[in-house]
Structure 1
Amino acid sequence: MLRSIAKHIEKRKVHLIVVLDEADVLIKRGASDLIYQLSRFDEEKISPRPSLSVILISQKYVLDMLDQAAMSTFRRANVIRFERYSAAELRDIVAMRAELALFPSVIDDDSVQLIADISAEFGDARFAIEMLDRSGMLAEEEGSERIMPEHVRAAKALTYSVVTETKIEELERQRKLVLLAVCRTMKDQAFVTTGEVEKTYRIVAEEYSERPRAHTQFWEYVQELSNIGLIQTKVTGDPGGGRTTYISLLDIPAKVLREKLEEVL
């Protein structure tokens, strides 16, 4: 096959670029010999100009996975490392894909941002696109004409969730009340402010015959819930110069978490 390719290249006077995506997976499946042959493609040529270039794309450092024969050639290769995508970059990617794949107004900016925030943990555009796809499928199964934040959270829960029943049950009672307040305030929204949650928390505490804690203690509870991955907090600047803290749920639908909390309280 490679000889046939070489004849075509020579006949057409072109330079062929071979791109192997997920090269680490290919190597595990026994493609080292193919990569070796491609790396030696121009050995018998007299001309100093190469006719073939090989690009290996991998999330892992693939050169260490090659056998000695192929490695001897790739020692002279250029390695380009790409940083993980940021939340802002992922937001742009998801927005572009949504524009291509969905009807207008099917998904709003908050849900796009929620997908980006969830995916930023991994910095993976493919994961973000899969989240968009899965969220759309869940919305369709539910008969909804729009992708809501709850669909996004449900998609994350199906993919990989750090929220477990044990983690919820082990929370101290006041922390459960704060988390319940987050769920009740959230409803179908992607983000809520700490001020909104604190108001709901005081109502929830009264409902469960508990004395609501002061603002400073409430804020500490919010930080603790964020530290163990049950909620996410994000501080943004306001036009007036102030700062607002937003809370979001990334790993589980607010309705599902609310029902679990109400069972254990």
Structure 2
Amino acid sequence: MHMDFEEELRKSLAGSPVFRKDGEVTLDRDFIPEKVLHRDEIIKRMLLDFKIVMKENKGVNIGVRGGGGFGKTLVSRFSQQKLKNVADEFGINIDIQYYNCFNHRTLGAILRDYLLDKHMYMSGKGFSISELMTYLIQNLEKKNIKLVIILDEIQNLDTSEIMQLLTINEDFRTNNNTKEFVSFILIARDYDWNNILVKEPRIAQRLTSTYKLEQYTASELFDIYLYRMELAFKEGVFSDDNIELIVDMSETSGNVYYGIELMRHAGKRAEFLHENEVLPEMIRGAAKNVSTEFREPLLDKLRPHELFSLLAVARLLERLSDKNINKITIYNAYNEYKVVCEEYGKNPHVITVFRKHVKKLHQNHLLKQRIVNIKTRGRRGEINIIGFSAELVKKKVIECLDGLSMNEES
């Protein structure tokens, strides 16, 4: 059937069946929401650190570290947005600048970019770092600007250049002026932060405060995804169960941006299919656009009945996705497992052994199992697949089984 691409474009321009007006942009990494959940204490402490910038004309140097997707960049930019708002109320001239050092890999690149952007009439070409810094401080003093520079992924800068930045207020004072005009927020992941301090321990001594962001808990991730879902999507597009599925898929890493990207890609898939509801398989399928490839080498290490168990879970979840069901009980999975064994001409293991197969698959992050408390029925085991679509898992397991010698006893 021939697709009318012009008509598809007209439908798209008329409005999305899933996204609110301007809702999709709220899922961008650069978007700063009105609320930053579960980081109140750190934001408050960071703002208090900057009180001396406002009242005493001093500079501060702040370090922010933590795992990927723990909110380091958002907390830093959000806090400075609030600082700027209050400074404007008090008539204090504060300029907030953000640079990712993956794109600006040298101190010279950062200084030249700022001087050009702020129309300080200097391209920076042909000047030494010392001359650029002198010119910067002179212009900040002349215009009475307090400059705060947020530097993300600072592992891309040479440690000697980081030290030059942190000592700029001391090294480039003019006419014995005691005012300090530049402050910094330095951001890096824990691993990179530790390496930086090994190379140059004096950096730690130059920091006013260092904040370590801990991994989000499952309940915190749920709150964040629910809030971001309400900003981005129309009512009824995402069910609470599907938000829980995204929590399950991102809980191990704690990377909140991974979950937000899953939301975006699942929403785009629903939009492409002209659906007004996101289904579980759309979310699992979105993972192939966000995460790494399926863990095929792990399948080669599984025994036949472990593969049968994984195939049973994948098949059942794929079928139930159309009904917007994203998890199954151990008993449902076991019944499907017995059907799979029959199809492959093998006798099924008893349910206690099947539980061991599921536990191993869980330990290898091929599926997720958890025990939930049901008020009227006690405890119940639930299983789902996270990180990949059930369809993809089914396909890969079947390929593995087809290449496996079934004469080998498991």
Number of residues of Structure 1 aligned to a counterpart in Structure 2:
257
Q: 1:131 to 1:48 in 2, by over 3 A?
A: same
Verify: 1:40 aligned to 2:168, yes or no.
yes
Separation of aligned partners in 1, 2:194 and 2:312: 51
CA contact (8 A) 1:192 1:248 kept: yes
Q: CA shift at 1:49, angstroms?
A: 6.2
CA contact (8 A) 1:9 1:16 kept: no
Q: CA shift at 1:167, angstroms?
A: 3.5
Q: 1:238 to 1:56 in 2, by over 3 A?
A: same
Match of 1:9 in 2: 144
Match of 1:87 in 2: 218
Match of 2:189 in 1: 59
Verify: 1:75 aligned to 2:205, yes or no.
yes
Deviations 1:180-206 (A, max 9, x none): 221222121322111221222223333
Match of 1:182 in 2: 313
Q: CA shift at 1:146, angstroms?
A: 2.3
Separation of aligned partners in 2, 1:81 and 1:134: 30
CA contact (8 A) 1:163 1:230 kept: no
Match of 2:96 in 1: none
Q: Which amino acid aligns with 1:59?
A: R
- Aligned partner of residue 128 in structure 1, secondary structure: helix
Of 240, 244, 262, 1:109 maps to 240
Separation of aligned partners in 1, 2:359 and 2:194: 42
Which stretch shows the higher mean deviation, 76-85 or 44-53? 44-53
Superposed, 1:202-241 pairs within 5 Å as 202-240=338-376
Separation of aligned partners in 2, 1:203 and 1:136: 34
Separation of aligned partners in 1, 2:233 and 2:160: 40
Which stretch shows the higher mean deviation, 133-142 or 98-107? 133-142
Q: CA shift at 1:224, angstroms?
A: 1.4
Match of 1:248 in 2: 384
Q: 1:35 to 1:111 in 2, by over 3 A?
A: farther
Q: CA shift at 1:217, angstroms?
A: 0.8
Alpha-carbon RMSD: 3.1
Q: 1:261 to 1:67 in 2, by over 3 A?
A: closer
Separation of aligned partners in 1, 2:348 and 2:187: 54
Which stretch shows the higher mean deviation, 198-207 or 217-226? 198-207
Q: 1:167 to 1:143 in 2, by over 3 A?
A: farther
Deviations 1:34-85 (A, max 9, x none): 77246422552756664443211222444753899x9646513122111122
Verify: 1:18 aligned to 2:146, yes or no.
no
Match of 1:146 in 2: 277
Separation of aligned partners in 2, 1:35 and 1:112: 43
Which stretch shows the higher mean deviation, 213-222 or 42-51? 42-51
Separation of aligned partners in 2, 1:56 and 1:169: 43
Q: Percent identity?
A: 26
Q: 1:115 to 1:6 in 2, by over 3 A?
A: farther
CA contact (8 A) 1:163 1:229 kept: no
CA contact (8 A) 1:39 1:54 kept: no
Which stretch shows the higher mean deviation, 238-247 or 46-55? 46-55
- Aligned partner of residue 58 in structure 1, secondary structure: strand
CA contact (8 A) 2:241 2:326 kept: yes
Q: 1:219 to 1:35 in 2, by over 3 A?
A: same
CA contact (8 A) 1:162 1:229 kept: no
Q: CA shift at 1:222, angstroms?
A: 0.8
Separation of aligned partners in 2, 1:219 and 1:66: 46
Structure 1 unaligned spans of 5+: none
Greater relative contact order (Cα 8 A, min sep 6): structure 1 or 2?
A: 2
Separation of aligned partners in 2, 1:250 and 1:107: 17
TM-score (norm 2): 0.55
Q: CA shift at 1:237, angstroms?
A: 2.1
Structure 2 unaligned spans of 5+: 1-114, 116-135, 403-410
CA contact (8 A) 2:258 2:290 kept: no
TM-score (norm 1): 0.81
